[in-house]
Amino acid sequence: MLNPIMSSYGPRQLQIERGDGCYLYDEQGIQYFDGLCGIGVCNLGHNHPSVTGAIQGQALDLLHCSNLYKNSSQDNAAKSLCDFARMDNVFFANSGAEANEAALKLARLWGKKNAIEYGKVIVFERAFHGRTFATLSATGNPKVHEGFDPLLDQFYRAEYNDLDSVKALAHHQDIAAILVEPVQGEGGVHPASTEFLQGLRQLATNNNWLLMLDEVQTGNGRTGKPYAYMHYDITPDVITTAKGLGNGVPVGACMARRKAAELFTPGTHGSTYGGNPLVCSVVSEVVSELSSNHMGELFNETLPILTERVLGLTELQQVSAVRQLGFMIGIELAHAQPKFLEVAAKNGLLANMTGPTTIRLLPPLIMTIDQVNELIDKVALSIAQSAKEE
Ligand SMILES: *Cc1c(COP(=O)(O)O)cnc(C)c1O
């Protein structure tokens, strides 16, 4: 019989039924350390009590009323999110790809406002921006493009961390914006250099382009700051985010500042679900939790130890390099280890590989010091064991 779920995800080995903090449990009750957080979503861990409380409380009042009406849950979430991200206003979407679609529409409007009929957007090799037609076209990964030609032609592609490759495009008169991840996540955890992001800011300002940051994965505390751009001493015009913003409820956001904040006018964009009372009650809770003193204190304790332990992995002969910004970690293996994920699962660890030699960790931000050690011990053990299985 045909599987009633379309096969876009391929076969899946594990069946997960329950979560609690840093841990997931399969149908037999076996415990796994969630080193991936549902792909960077459950930043506050699974079943966070105040998130669960917000969902329960809001469910008693109202789940949904559409954007035909004002609602205090949406008003509160917008205000706290814009404060947290230091932006002026927000459009609520339902996913990362949708948040990026909103940003791409802003870029088109920005172009038209500046007499560019068909404004194009500079994007980067190895980038990931989503799976809708516009966002897969913006993505710099041939595997994501495969089978979906022709792509949308509104993009110029440059090399990541190579400012000269962007300058080489600047003679085009039809550029409206740059869309870039501060750390490429799906592309293998590559942080932007300070010189690169600051250089993009300068180029965007000089050429009247919008600087749009895709913080779908890097936002919401993932890199140790509210948004990753805050490591770089720059101010973007547009930020998109999703993943950690809802800690598991589906929500996306496209935020804008100043000139970019006045481009949408009534009727130019919309979403039936976008920013409904349920998800917005969670957004407010997540933002309040991430801005709390106790999270700041926890980060001060755990981040230095996490960084030290991650660097220590380079002492393993199988590891050729590590890349890290806060809780985004890429471990580069000297040789492909196709058994790594299977061995890790046997050791009670869930992780991810973005390519044959790249392990990606996106652990919960709520880890204690003991849990940081547990995570890295399991990673090191699984690397050593799976190297022997080749
Ligand atoms: C995951 C991701 C997206 C897509 O988000 P969806 O919610 O899956 O649509 C876009 N950009 C980046 C950087 C991502 O990591």
Give the number of other Cβ atoms within 10 Å of residue 147's Cβ. Answer: 6
The per-residue pLDDT for range 327-340, each reduced to its tens digit, is 999 999 999 999 99
Q: What φ, ψ does residue 93 adopt, rounded to 5°?
A: -115, -165
Q: Please give the distance, rounded to the nearest whole angstrom, from the Cα atom of residue 171 to the centre of ligand 1.
A: 30
185 alpha carbon to ligand 1 midpoint, in Å?
9
CA distance 215 to 180: 9
Q: Among 209, 218, 217, which Cα is nearest to 238's?
A: 209
Is the bond preceding 150 in cis, omega lying within 30 degrees of 0?
yes
Q: Dmax over Cα atoms in the chain, in whole Å?
A: 61
User: Which atom of ligand 1 is least distant from the CA of 95?
Assistant: 7
Pocket of ligand 1 (CB under 6 A): 95-97, 100, 128-130, 181, 185-186, 214, 216-217, 242-243
The 3-state secondary structure of the chain reads: CCCCCCHHHCCCCCCEEEEEECEEEECCCCEEEECCHHHHCCCCCECCHHHHHHHHHHHHHCCCCCCCCCCHHHHHHHHHHHHHHCCCEEEEECCHHHHHHHHHHHHHHHHHHCCCCCCEEEEECCCCCCCCHHHHHHCCCHHHHCCCCCCCCCEEEECCCCHHHHHCCCCCCCEEEEEECCEECCCCCEECCHHHHHHHHHHHHHHCCEEEEECCCCCCCCCCCCCHHHHCCCCCCEEEECHHHCECECCEEEEECHHHHHCCCCCCCCCCCCCCHHHHHHHHHHHHHHCCHHHHHHHHHHHHHHHHHHHHHHHCCCEEEEEEECCEEEEEECCCCCCHHHHHHHCCEECEEEECCEEEECCCCCCCHHHHHHHHHHHHHHHHHHHHCC
Pocket test for ligand 1, best of 243, 327, 352, 362 (most atoms within 8 A of CB): 243
**Per-residue confidence (pLDDT) for residue 390, from 0 to 100:** 67
Distance 347 CA to ligand 1 centre (A): 28
Which atom of ligand 1 is found nearest the CA of 243? 7
CA 185 from centre of chain: 7
- Cα(213) to centroid(ligand 1), Å: 12
Name the pairing type of β-strands 210-214 and 352-355. Answer: unpaired
By DSSP bridging, strand 352-355 and strand 358-361 are antiparallel
Atom of ligand 1 nearest to the CA of 131: 9
What predicted TM-score, i.e. pTM, was given to this entire model?
0.98
Q: How far is the CA of 119 from the centre of ligand 1 (A)?
A: 23
- Identify which of 121, 160, 186, 362 to mutate to test ligand 1's pocket (most ligand atoms within 8 A of the CB): 186
Q: Could you list the pLDDT tens digit for every one of the 390 residues in the chain?
A: 788 999 999 888 899 999 999 999 999 999 999 999 999 999 999 999 999 999 999 999 999 999 999 999 999 999 999 999 999 999 999 999 999 999 999 999 999 999 999 999 999 999 999 999 999 999 999 999 999 999 999 999 999 999 999 999 999 999 999 999 999 999 999 999 999 999 999 999 999 999 999 999 999 999 999 999 999 999 999 999 999 999 999 999 999 999 999 999 999 999 999 999 999 999 999 999 999 999 999 999 999 999 999 999 999 999 999 999 999 999 999 999 999 999 999 999 999 999 999 999 999 999 999 999 999 999 999 999 999 886
Rounded Cα distance between 154 and 18, Å, is 43
Give residue 10's pLDDT. Answer: 86
The ligand 1 atom nearest the CA atom of 185: 15
Q: Which amino acid is at 195?
A: E
Task: Write the residue with the smallest CA distance to atom 11 of ligand 1.
Answer: 129
99 Cα to the center of ligand 1, angstroms? 9
CA distances from 182 to 185, 219, 365 (A): 9, 10, 19
Q: Which of 143, 82, 132, 73 is nearest to 105 (CA)?
A: 132
User: What are 54's two structure tokens?
Assistant: 């917000």
Mutate to test the pocket of ligand 1, among 129, 141, 247, 279 (most ligand atoms within 8 A of CB): 129
What is the whole-number distance in angstroms between the Cα of residue 387 and the centre of ligand 1?
31
* Centre of ligand 1 from the C-alpha of residue 135, in Å: 9
Q: Which residue has the tokens 């679609």?
A: 101
pLDDT at 2: 87
Query: How far away, in angstroms, is 385 Cα from ligand 1 center?
Result: 32
CA distance 93 to 125: 26
Q: How many CB atoms lie within 10 A of CB 253?
A: 32
